Amino acid sequence: MLSRAVDWNFDIDRYINRVLRPSPLHKLPTPVSRFLGYRKEPKKDVGNILGAIWSFVGAFCGLAVIVAVFNNTESIQRHHPPVLIASFGASAVLEYNVIRSPLGQPRNALLGHTFSALVGVAITKLFLYHHDFERIRWIAGSVACGLASAVMLLTNTVHPPGGASALLAAVLPEVTDMGWYFVGLIMFGTVLMLFVSLVVNNIQRQFPLYWVTAVDLRSEKDVKQEHLPDGDGAIEPKKMTEVVQGVDEIRISERGVELPSALSLNPEEAELLERLRKRLRAIETKDGAISLDTRRPSSKFTPRTSKEGVNNSDSSTLVISLILGLIILCLYHMVNQFVARLPVKRTVVWLLYKPNKVRNHKDIPVLGHR
């Protein structure tokens, strides 16, 4: 039993991808699709110097927006949340630094945090029935984090900061008191971080690489695999690559690939043949099959290119400039509002602005008074 369990695997995307529609981002105007992560050609990431700069800008803006919105929303403040939820700091590293990691893509960030917060709040509420919850609070946190990790793995939504969200729901008293409201707060904060990441990360970089799945559904929808029952009664896809005796050539048709019995392929070669078969399936060919003679390989290769559209670099630059200007104005306004509400009695800014006029601490004005 244990030896067979090594090969057990559950891929939820295998079922989800069947009902998903291909991404419509390529149909949107270029200035819009650009800031949603779409590129006609895959874009190479910038060097680590620019990457460090944009990582700093993104993390600062993302966390500042969350704090500004949370502190200025009365309905949120009624629940007395912490100044900043700690798990958002870890998310900032994934969403603004290693933006090409699958762990930081929108699906993993949003669903990973949500599932983990749900698990954390649910486990905590169960442990609250114990008469001495404070003594076993650490057990609730351990169970919540472990179960959240398992749920994220089974749903292909692994987001390491989600473990912190589940842990906070159990070990932090102010979060425990929030109850189910904490789930909505985590979702709201994650959406704000993703919004900032779409703006900052798409100025010179590309984010996200995908929204729901990394599989190109446009090519997957063209091929409908035939499914046959195996010996155990389960359903498995029909193998498209078939070994044929007595042939000395590779035959590729829309129905499958035939190989000589003496030829073995590695995974990369098999994938290449499968891509060729899908392309044959996608186009209407007059011939029923195409034969590729391996004894006489052709050195000529003419790629088929598509016509490029109108160059929109000028319009994209203008849009980027406008968006950056709006971001700076919004940040300036939020920082002013935030500083105006700080519960301090002296202001360092005034000291820096008029240092010569300050003789002693009594000359320093109280914030909010003239």
- So where are the chain's domains? 2-200, 225-292, 313-363
CA-CA distance, 133 to 104, in Å (whole number)?
A: 34
Rounded to 10°, the helix 87-96/181-200 angle is: 30
Q: Which amino acid is at 110?
A: L
CA-CA distance, 157 to 369, in Å (whole number)?
A: 51
Residue-wise pLDDT tens for the chain (370 aa)? 667 788 888 989 988 988 888 888 989 998 899 999 999 888 789 999 999 999 999 999 999 999 999 999 999 999 999 989 999 999 999 999 999 999 999 999 999 999 999 999 999 999 999 999 999 999 999 999 999 999 999 999 999 999 999 999 999 999 999 999 999 999 999 999 999 999 999 999 999 999 998 887 765 544 444 444 444 444 344 445 555 555 567 777 766 777 776 676 777 777 788 778 777 777 644 444 444 444 444 444 444 444 444 444 555 566 667 767 777 777 777 767 666 665 544 444 444 444 444 445 455 455 444 4
Q: Kindly state the DSSP code that residue 203 receives in the 8-state scheme.
A: T
Kind of pairing, strands 241-244 and 256-260?
parallel
Cα torsion 32, 212, 256, 235 to 10°: value is -160
Q: Kindly state the DSSP code that residue 256 receives in the 8-state scheme.
A: E
The residue assigned the tokens 């063209």 is 222
Which residue from 68, 81, 113, 69 is spatially nearest to 94, judged by alpha carbons?
A: 113
Residues across the chain:
370
The number of helices, as runs of H, and strands, as runs of E, in the chain is: 15, 6
Q: Is 75 exposed, middle or buried (0-12, 13-18, 19+ CB in 10 A)?
A: exposed
Q: Is 176 exposed, middle or buried (0-12, 13-18, 19+ CB in 10 A)?
A: buried
